[in-house]
Amino acid sequence: MVDLYLASTSPRRRELLITAGLRFELVTPGVEHVAGERGTPVELAAARARRKAHGAARPNGGAATVPVLGVDTVVDLDGRELGKAPDAVTARQMLAALAGRAHQVHTGHCLVWPDRGDGSPVAAEVVASSTVTCRQPTTAELDAYLASEAWRGKAGGYGIQDPEQEFLTLAAGAFDTVVGLHVAAVRQLLLGRRA
């Protein structure tokens, strides 16, 4: 028996759930990005988590009572999203924009149960936010981090948990929110349904 289906391709989210002792199976998430999508970084994190959860492909024969979790993380610099860097040049530009400043990280969570009894799904959502500071990295530090390729596939062009960097620090909020999934928020959503 599993606690939830995780609609995510992120290895970091899997690790966080495993460490938390939550039982899950992976499912293919719904569409993350929509052309022309607009909104604040908080709104974007919530909308993408919602789409991932509602559009997820449930496994054949999967338990009908098990909810699907969609999660999305957005790095917010002055109200502007810094997405995933497609290359090292873009990652360098993102990290240069963050250097010497504080920024926000918002992780949206959407938990969807398949049926409330009338055929329509039940969903619960929460967005967790944290503040991260980035000191000015030296050229050598930045070059080494970019060469490590640890930044690939991560919002804002970085992973706060990456041992290859020492210039990003959690200033407020939860560390796991910045990594990509706030375990306490997931537990809260699960308990809300059971209450």
The catalytic residues are 72
What does the block give as tokens for 145? 């981090």
CB within 8 Å of 103: residues ≥ 6 apart: 75, 76, 77, 78, 82, 131, 132, 134, 156
Q: How many angstroms separate the CA atoms of 59 and 26, rounded?
A: 9
Q: How many angstroms separate the CA atoms of 114 and 67, rounded?
A: 7
**What number of H helices and E strands is found in the chain?**
6, 7
Cβ neighbour number for residue 195 with a 10 Å cutoff: 5
Q: How many angstroms separate the CA atoms of 63 and 67, rounded?
A: 9
Q: How many CA atoms lie within 13 A of 29 on its CB side?
A: 21
Cβ-in-10-Å burial (0-12, 13-18, 19+) of 131 comes to middle
* 3-class SS of residue 134: strand
